[in-house]
Amino acid sequence: SHTKPHLVHVGHLTGHQYDVIVVGGGHAGTEAAAAAARVGAETLLITQKIHTIGALSCNPSLGGVGKGQLVKEVDALDGLCGRAGDWAGIHFSILNRRKGPAVWGPRAQLDRQRYRDFIQSELLSTPRLTMVEGSVEELLVTEPNPEEPGHHRVTGIRLANGSHAISARSVVLTTGTFLSGSLFVGQTTSPGGRIGDAPSSAGLSHTLRERLGLRTGRLRTGTPPRIVKDSVDLSLAKLHLPDSHPTPFSFLNTHTHCKPEEQLPCYLTFTTPGVERVVRESLQLNCHIQQDTKGPRYCPSIESRVLRFPGRSHQVWLEPEGVTSDLLYPQGLSMTMPPDIQLRLIREIPPMRRAEIHTPGYGVQYDFVCPTQLSPALQVKSTQGLFLAGQINGTTGYEEAAAQGLWAGANAARSALSMPTVTLSRTESYIGVLIDDLVSRGVTEPYRMFTSRAEFRTSLRPDNADLRLTPKGFEEVGCVSSVRYQESLRVRNSLQDALTALQALFLSTSSWKKKLPSVPISETKSTLLTGLDLLQYNDVTFEMLASAFPESLSSFMEFAQRLKIEAVYKPHCDLNKKEIERIQREENMSLPQDIDYFSLPVSLSDEVREILDRVRPSTLGAATRLEGITPAAVVNLLNYVRVTE
């Protein structure tokens, strides 16, 4: 097997057989290729332009609320984006700090060039991975099996020049916004997947739709103009500083590459009534906004924002594009009007009265494949060996793409190497929530992650992604290196030892009061309390306990923050765990066949009620396995049936 990295010329590949071919070098494709190679597959990454591998098409940032959890999970499975973020980050902050640590959102502004460089150099040093520049024109598949009509098997790809066919046991398609992509600025439309890049050839859409019979839909998104930094008067915007101590995304990193004092600030400003006037006056010159295609609801264009909420002032963040970049990224000003009107619009915002545009904003519309046609391994159900990941599945965002890419790549490798595919459940990860939502519910608008989508979010925290996923990634999936695995075991064992030591500190309330005189310990609480009970108090830190009991606790100081969070969430997580175990125990409990699911007095979504009414599962276990039924819905159902029995 290859041990040296490869960047080859396409002419050398004809007739080659790979285990896995990954098409597309965006956020999904790079994670997919790296994960497939880590699992042990000879992998080929084919992408239109080698130098755009790892490019950030839109915002120069990574993470955020819900998205940061995905980055931590990709990292726990040994993916690239967390470490790339730590290398390229120039402004780190934890969002949502006023809420509990379960829903904190680690986020960083990135230096675009550094991010790309990191991803490219990681891929170049990944054993078993070869990269080649080219555009895939066609998927090669077998004729349908007569015993299973409509079922195919993928055998490889053909490149755009028609001559090069390359064989593979698995293919992962991660073509992003490029599938039948069209770009929009004002009234001008041109074929393209991203500014400066051609769309995927029509042949690929044809294979998916006509040959494989897959259902596709159309979505859109857009990006703001990039502004010349020197032309902006930043003294008129509000300064926004990063956290003074940057928190790395990766479990493997204790520091970020950027020193705390070298971080760059962001600036906050607001739209004025003039912005709304320019949008309204130019609507007829803006064909992207006039169309019905669904755009990203949670990252809308300025046109959609002012039309939906007239008379309001909207936030605009002015973000650095990199340490040496002369540009600013105006987050919140995604727009598709003609360039001269874009200039008029931005000049209605005080700090940008004299601003110059470097590159105008534009919109893109593209095909996606309805993801309900995929298995939880992200494999097309009707085509053995074909996996899809990223924006092609109807999602939006780098983190959502990276998470799917890693999982699809690992499974593509396992399938090619004749190992069973693996799944992640909603109860163990945000990646599991993301994939379950996609394959069981599908999408009607670009899908992005939120913490509210995860029923068990108090257990699926950014701080414990390593505990939840690294052992599984090593022992069951094979995508985690032994170095990371060993370190995760060391941390897990130390945390367990620390929790045991805290529980062994079993003292009366009055003894605790003597030890920690500054803490108001309530008399109504039990007269005997453990150190772990005490750590649940708002004003008790692990450091305080360690200074009171140095002999048993001081060796665990490196885990002080994790232990505090673990203690605070312990009661919640124990309850979650019990509920999950209860569902597993009660698998065979019968569900009455005459239940009126629509009037059941428990918390169930309309969607869940409809599914239960249509299928009428005979047991709780059968309900659990239905597509679209969440673990929280099963818990509510179980509670109801138990009470009425």
| Residues forming the site for ligand FAD (CB under 6 A) | 23-29, 46-48, 52, 57-58, 135-136, 174-178, 193-194, 197, 200, 204, 221-223, 296, 299, 334, 364, 390-391, 396-398, 401
Write down the least CB distance from residue 431 to ligand FAD, Å: 15
In the complex with ligand FAD, which residue's Cβ is closer, 119 or 499? 119
C-alpha neighbours within 13 Å on the C-beta side of residue 101: 17
Write down the least CB distance from residue 166 to ligand FAD, Å: 12
In the complex with ligand FAD, which residue's Cβ is closer, 113 or 552? 113
In the complex with ligand FAD, which residue's Cβ is closer, 199 or 631? 199
In the complex with ligand FAD, which residue's Cβ is closer, 139 or 544? 139
Write down the least CB distance from residue 302 to ligand FAD, Å: 12
Write down the least CB distance from residue 46 to ligand FAD, Å: 5
Write down the least CB distance from residue 34 to ligand FAD, Å: 13
**Where are the extended beta strands (E) located within 48-135?**
61-63, 89-95, 105-110, 129-133
CA distance 542 to 558: 10
Q: Quick one: CA torsion of 420, 426, 429, 434, rounded to 10 degrees?
A: 90
Picking from 28, 50, 49, the residue whose alpha carbon sits closest to that of residue 409 is: 28
In the complex with ligand FAD, which residue's Cβ is closer, 75 or 455? 75
In the complex with ligand FAD, which residue's Cβ is closer, 196 or 350? 196
Write down the least CB distance from residue 237 to ligand FAD, Å: 21
Write down the least CB distance from residue 229 to ligand FAD, Å: 21
Residue 106 φ then ψ, to 5°: -65, 130
- Cross-strand partners of 243: none
CB burial readout 426-435, b (16+ within 10 A) else e: bbbbbbbbbb
Picking from 559, 570, 558, the residue whose alpha carbon sits closest to that of residue 534 is: 570
> 3-state class of 345 per DSSP?
helix
Which letter does DSSP use for residue 271 in this model? -
Write down the least CB distance from residue 90 to ligand FAD, Å: 19
Which letter does DSSP use for residue 476 in this model? I
Residue nearest ligand FAD, CB atom distance? 26
C-alpha neighbours within 13 Å on the C-beta side of residue 58: 23
In the complex with ligand FAD, which residue's Cβ is closer, 82 or 397? 397
In the complex with ligand FAD, which residue's Cβ is closer, 407 or 559? 407
In the complex with ligand FAD, which residue's Cβ is closer, 195 or 491? 195
Burial of 177 (0-12, 13-18, 19+ CB in 10 A): buried
Amino acid at 69: Q
In the complex with ligand FAD, which residue's Cβ is closer, 377 or 502? 377
Write down the least CB distance from residue 193 to ligand FAD, Å: 6
Write down the least CB distance from residue 265 to ligand FAD, Å: 22
Q: What is the 3-class SS of 116-150, one letter each residue?
A: HHHHHHHHHCCCCEEEEECCEEEEEECCCECCECC
Q: Quick one: CA torsion of 365, 366, 369, 370, rounded to 10 degrees?
A: 0
Write down the least CB distance from residue 199 to ligand FAD, Å: 7
In the complex with ligand FAD, which residue's Cβ is closer, 207 or 470? 207
Q: Which tokens is 484 given? A: 């990371």
In the complex with ligand FAD, which residue's Cβ is closer, 87 or 362? 362
Instruction: Please name the helix (run of DSSP H) or strand (run of DSSP E) that holds residue 168, with its range, or none.
Output: strand 165-173
CB 405 within 8 A of CB 30: yes
Give DSSP secondary structure letters for 436-455. Answer: HHHHHH--SS-B---GGG-T
CB burial readout 515-536, b (16+ within 10 A) else e: bbeeeebeeeeeeebbbbbbbe
Write down the least CB distance from residue 173 to ligand FAD, Å: 8
Picking from 86, 113, 81, the residue whose alpha carbon sits closest to that of residue 326 is: 113
